[in-house]
Amino acid sequence: MATRALDIIDTAPRFTQADADALNARFAGVDSAAMLRALFAENAIGRVGVVSSFGTESAVLLHLVALADPSIPVIFVDTLKMFQETLDYRDTLIERLGLTQSSTVTPDPVVLAAKDESGLRWSYDPDGCCAIRKVEPLARAKQGLDSWISGRKAFQSVTRQNLPRFEVEDGRLKINPLGDWTKDDLEAYFERFDLPRHPLEAQGFLSVGCQPCTSPVTPGEDARAGRWRGWDKTECGIHGVAIPLPDGELPPGYEPAF
């Protein structure tokens, strides 16, 4: 009998906090490009993949990876609620940067049928929506990886302050090459290498996620203020905890607000 994706047991080798500490010490003060070249050349981090949202700042990390080794796998989670502009931008960057191993993972259709048949879970349970449309697919995509590379930056929000370059998450090494970069650093990099911009950025979308839960920001607002606006929520669950509602569809008496 075939094994369903949700039943796969993760057998990836385990990194320890001591491993992360050693790498943080070794690469302290080393620029991100040199760090990635060394890690890939030495195979020091095992089977590695880059997880990219193809958002407004994603081109920088993907360019750094492409310069070091364009064959490193790039994983994109398509929640089936993405902006078309993001899907187009993904294709543009992959071609422009010469990335040779890109893959897209989508939510389990069985789970969607059971927990979000109407497609409206985002409107009353954004944590639960993220859990089934983003967190579970990414967990599935990371099966077999020893480590993964994230595009998080410490300046993005208070929940990301004091972000180390290397950390351990469920025994898998998590690498944040841009953790100590500033917004000015990113802007300078975009300009230096003439990297293409996400098409929605010019419309005020400074941080882009799923279409229903992303809005433009006004001058002076935090770049991520447009994510889950009106909810006490700052992360999708990939970098934090997203707790879904119990199984079932719309709550009793629920009516969409549109």
Pairing mode, strands 48-51 and 74-77: parallel
Rounded-to-integer distance, Cα 35 and Cα 74, Å: 18
What does the block give as tokens for 86?
Answer: 């993001």
CB of 64 within 8 A of CB of 34? no
Per-residue buried b or exposed e for 127-156, using 16+ beta carbons within 10 Å of the residue's own CB: bbbbbbbbbbbbbbbbeebbbbbbbbbbbb
The 3-state DSSP class for residue 42 equals helix
CB of 73 within 8 A of CB of 103? yes
Helix pair 84-97, 58-68: axis angle to 10 deg: 20
Q: Which residue has the tokens 């320890």?
A: 16
| Bridge partners, residue 50, by sequence | 74, 149
Q: Look up residue 174 and give its DSSP letter.
A: E
Residues catalogued as catalytic: 236
Cα separation of the two ends of the chain: 43
Helix pair 32-42, 58-68: axis angle to 10 deg: 50
The 3-state DSSP class for residue 5 equals helix
